[in-house]
Structure formats: structure tokens, C-alpha cells
């Protein structure tokens, strides 16, 4: 799934959370997972608002006590000790590392010595980690964004009055296309810049895509004459502009593969986890027969072009291989979307797969079915079949 961040009024962490909630990410899911991450009490205040006639969600993080400052090491420890998935942990930690590197460059200190103020507070952690949780829930593996508009003027922070864009924002936006405006406001916050720098593979015009739905997140300020909104467009990428939007869809991926016969299989399993956390679309292990009659394993990774360099580096550093083959591959895929379906077990995420000659296949999310089976003490297959029948109308 592709998420395109249309930042016509900039981006902040709370605007991103609002847009993701508007796309269908359950508020109770965010609250539950984030409460397991943070020791302090907080809750998400979500309101439906309208900006220039456009409906959107506004999100505010309400803390029971004053938010505390945290160091980069503190935040890393919180994320690592949490029950979040490996993919969410890796992406969240990566965004905070970008913030730490930007702050370290500005203040002339070591990255691990960076002490956050504004971005170490509870709401910033909620915004960043909540964004990653939301994208993971929507099964977004591909993120792109528009060029970013920058405001003017000044903003007050812990260090005093600083110019807009903030120095940390500019450091994070290195090599990112931006455009200046005469709007006297902070349109792109450091948190918003870090989210896109950490997650987006490309910046510019909206890619060729089949749109599934879109969500709007509202900023706290009123901007005239335009609406202060972030729009996230969800859908399927079409790398080939002539690809059909019905029947089989076409796109292109990159395949990375190598054969290994001298590595501890436990370490190879760890490498698979890291590759998936780094954004690989799929990772597969094949038994192979290698030279000198040695049994071995072929590691094959499928990814987008933007991830090839980081995944190649991961393979070369986490395995004993001396080289990796990589090549572009065309593929045909079935159109699919994630919906929130009402079932006897509650509202759950279900994939709707569109078959090439008509009809729809319903595929419940495995992790959701597993949790229901445990909670209800039912066989997993029974839960799966019941959901398929109820959603399919059978």
C-alpha cells in the first residue's frame, strides 16, 4: 500500500496522526499500544472539525502531568523495552535518530548526548510512534510526499525565540525539495520533517496510483486563506502509467538474493527480522545445494528501488556472504484494500482482494484472528472461517 503525504499546508506530528485516524486507524489501538510504551498517563483527544468546508480530525495529547524532557538514550530505551513489533520499533527509533543527529549538528555535541526538549515530550513521542503504528496498521510499505512549503517569522521554544523554519527542521530537510511562502507561521515542524525524512522514499508530484481513500488531519492554527490541513492519500502504486486499474495490476520491484552455506541459522533468522523491519516487502529462505556438496540457504528479498541500498548493506553486514545479486523484476498483482469490517467479534481489519474477472476474496488479518482465538478460546480456523463468512455475506 502506498501513502502519499500531500503537504499543501505543511506537516506536523498531530496533523499526521489526525489524517491516519481519518483513514481508519482505530483510536483505541493507538491508545493501547502507546500506553504500553510510555510510563506517564495520557489520552488522545480527537475531534471532528471543518476547515474551509473540509472535514478533518484534530488530535491533541492530554497529559495527566507536565510532560518530561527525555534524552535520545531515554527514548531509545523506551522503544526497545516496549511490546511494539520489530518493524514499528525500527522505524520509530530511526526517526528519533534523525532528530538526534540534526540537534547534535546544531548544538555541536555527540548524538547520544542530545537531550530533547520539545521533541522529547510525551506528545512528540506519541506523534512519531503513533504515526508508525498507524502506517503499519494500514499496511503501508511505500511512502512518498509532496514538496514542502516553509513559513516565515519566529517561534518560541525552550532556547528562546528562533527563526522559522527552525534550525532542526532545515537540517532534517537537507536534499528534500521545499518552497518558500510568505505565511508567517511554522508550517513544517521538526517532528513533521523527521517523520517524512525517515519514512518517505521520494518527494515531488503525486505518483501514478489507484486511489483507495484519503484522510485529513487538522493543524491547530487557522491559516488564511487556505485550510491548515494535511492530506494523506492511500492507494496502490502504478509504476507503469499504462497499467490497467482493473484485473491484474502491474508494478516493478527489486530482487536481492544471495546463497549462504557457512552461517549459523539462528543468525540468519535474525537477519530476516531486520530486513523486514527495514522495509522489505518480503523475505524468503530457500534450501539450495551448493558447491563442494554443501547444503545451503538462498536468501531472497523483494523491495522497492528506494530500499535497495539500505537492504543491500543489511545483507552484507548481517550475513557471511561476499556478494549479493540484485535486479529489477516486473510483477502482476491483484488489487487489494484494507477495510474495517463489522463482525460478531467486533470491528476488525480485513483485506478485500479483487479478482481479475470479477468477485472479491476476503482475507482476515492473521494477527487479529490469532488474538481473537486466544481471547475466546476458539480454534483459529473457526475464527478465520467465521469472519470470512460474515464479511462475505455467506
Task: Quick: pLDDT tens for 289-316.
Answer: 998 889 999 999 999 877 888 899 999 9
| Domain range enclosing 152 | 2-237
* Per-chain mean pLDDT for the chain: 88
| Nearest-5° Cα angle at 186, 183 to 192 | 130
327 and 263 co-located in one domain: yes
Residue that is last in its domain, among 189, 208, 237: 237
Confirm whether 242 is domain-assigned. no
Q: Based on the structure, what is the number of domains in the chain? A: 3
Verify that 273 and 292 share a domain, yes or no: yes
* 103 and 230 co-located in one domain: yes
Query: For the segment 330-380, what is each residue's pLDDT rounded down to a tens digit?
Result: 888 887 778 888 899 988 888 888 887 778 889 998 888 999 999 999 999
Whether 188 is covered by a domain: the verdict is: yes
What's the whole-number mean pLDDT along residues 14-21? 98
Lookup: cell for 96 = 528519533
Q: How confident is the model at residue 178 (pLDDT cuts 50, 70, 90)?
A: very high
Beta pairing partners, 371 = none
Tell me which of 237, 263, 285 is where a domain ends.
237
pLDDT tens, residue by residue, 246-255: 556 777 789 9
Q: Is residue 206 part of a domain?
A: yes
Whether 118 contacts 125, CB under 8 Å: no
pLDDT digits (tens, 9 = 90+) for 39-71: 988 999 999 999 999 999 999 999 887 766 788
Q: What is the mean pLDDT of residues 117-133?
A: 83
Q: Which residues partner with 216 through β-bridges?
A: 231
Residue 145 confidence (pLDDT) above 80: yes
Predicted pLDDT at 242: 45
CA dihedral 28, 31, 37, 42 (to 10 degrees): -160
Domain match, 149 and 293 both: no
Residues 218-246: what's their mean pLDDT? Answer: 78
What cell was used for 356? 481479475
So what's the pLDDT on residue 112?
64
Residue 333 pairs in a beta bridge with 249
Query: Which residues neighbour 214 within 8 Å (Cβ) at sequence distance 6 or greater?
Result: 23, 231, 232, 233, 234
pLDDT tens track for 235-276: 987 655 444 445 567 777 899 999 999 999 999 999 999 999
Mean local confidence (pLDDT), 5-29: 97
Q: Does residue 108 lie within any of the structural domains?
A: yes
- pLDDT of res. 243: 47
CA separation (Å) from 60 to 17, 23, 230, 362?
10, 17, 15, 35
The pLDDT value recorded for residue 119 is 52
pLDDT of residue 251: 72
Residue 66 and residue 122 share a domain: yes
Quickly tell me which residue has 515530550 as its cell: 121
| Whether residue 255 sits in one domain with residue 134 | no
Are residues 163 and 127 located together in one domain of the fold? yes
Residue 208 has pLDDT above 80, yes or no: yes
Show which of 333, 353, 374 is a domain's final residue. Answer: 333
Does residue 317 fall inside a structural domain? yes
**Interaxial angle between packed helices 86-107 and 122-137, expressed in degrees from 0 to 180 and rounded to the nearest 10:** 140
Looking at the fold, whether 122 and 226 belong to one and the same domain comes out as yes
Band (393; pLDDT cuts 50, 70, 90): confident
Nearest Cα neighbor of 246 from 260, 236, 234 is 236
Q: Is 283's pLDDT higher than 70?
A: yes
216 and 90 assigned to the same domain: yes
So what's the pLDDT on residue 357? 74
Buried b (16+ CB within 10 A) or exposed e, 237-246: bbeeeebeee
Amino acid at each position: 500500500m502506498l501513502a502519499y503525504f500531500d503537504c499543501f499546508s505543511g506537516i506536523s506530528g498531530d496533523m499526521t496522526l489526525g489524517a491516519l485516524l481519518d483513514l481508519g486507524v482505530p483510536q483505541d489501538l493507538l491508545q493501547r499500544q502507546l500506553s504500553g510504551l510510555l510510563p506517564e498517563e495520557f489520552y488522545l483527544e480527537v475531534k471532528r472539525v471543518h476547515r474551509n468546508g473540509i472535514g478533518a480530525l484534530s488530535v491533541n495529547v492530554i497529559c495527566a502531568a507536565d510532560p518530561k524532557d527525555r534524552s535520545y538514550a531515554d527514548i531509545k530505551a523506551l522503544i526497545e523495552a516496549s511490546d511494539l513489533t520489530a518493524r514499528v520499533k525500527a522505524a520509530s527509533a530511526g526517526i528519533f535518530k534523525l532528530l538526534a543527529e540534526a540537534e547534535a549538528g546544531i548544538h555541536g555535541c555527540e548524538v547520544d548526548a542530545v537531550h530533547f526538549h520539545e521533541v522529547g515530550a510525551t506528545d512528540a513521542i506519541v506523534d512519531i510512534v503513533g504515526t508508525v503504528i498507524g502506517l503499519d496498521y494500514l499496511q503501508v510499505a511505500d511512502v512518498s510526499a509532496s514538496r514542502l512549503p516553509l513559513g516565515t517569522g519566529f517561534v518560541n521554544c525552550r532556547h528562546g525565540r528562533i527563526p522559522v523554519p527552525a534550525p532542526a527542521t532545515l537540517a532534517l530537510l537537507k536534499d528534500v525539495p521545499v518552497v518558500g511562502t510568505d505565511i508567517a507561521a511554522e508550517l513544517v515542524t521538526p517532528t513533521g520533517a523527521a517523520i517524512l525524512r525517515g519514512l518517505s522514499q521520494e518527494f515531488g508530484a503525486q505518483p501514478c496510483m489507484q486511489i483507495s481513500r484519503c484522510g485529513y488531519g487538522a493543524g491547530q492554527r487557522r491559516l488564511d486563506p487556505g485550510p491548515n490541513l494535511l492530506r494523506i492519500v492511500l492507494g496502490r502504486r502504478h509504476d507503469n502509467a499504462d497499467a490497467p486499474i482493473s484485473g491484474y495490476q502491474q508494478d516493478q520491484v527489486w530482487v536481492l538474493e544471495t546463497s549462504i552455506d557457512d552461517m549459523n541459522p539462528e543468525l540468519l533468522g535474525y537477519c530476516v527480522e531486520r530486513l523486514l523491519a527495514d522495509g522489505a516487502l518480503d523475505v524468503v529462505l530457500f534450501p539450495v545445494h551448493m558447491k563442494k556438496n554443501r547444503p545451503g540457504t538462498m536468501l531472497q528479498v523483494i523491495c522497492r528501488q528506494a530500499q535497495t541500498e539500505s537492504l543491500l548493506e543489511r545483507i552484507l553486514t548481517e550475513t557471511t556472504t561476499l556478494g549479493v545479486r540484485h535486479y529489477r523484476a516486473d510483477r502482476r498483482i491483484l488489487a487489494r484494500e484494507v477495510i474495517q469490517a463489522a463482525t460478531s467479534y467486533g470491528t476488525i481489519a480485513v483485506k478485500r482482494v479483487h479478482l481479475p474477472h470479477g468477485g472479491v476474496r476476503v482475507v482476515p488479518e492473521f494477527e487479529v484472528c490469532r488474538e481473537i482465538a486466544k481471547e475466546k478460546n476458539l480454534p483459529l480456523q473457526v475464527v478465520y472461517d467465521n469472519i470470512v463468512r460474515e464479511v462475505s455475506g455467506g
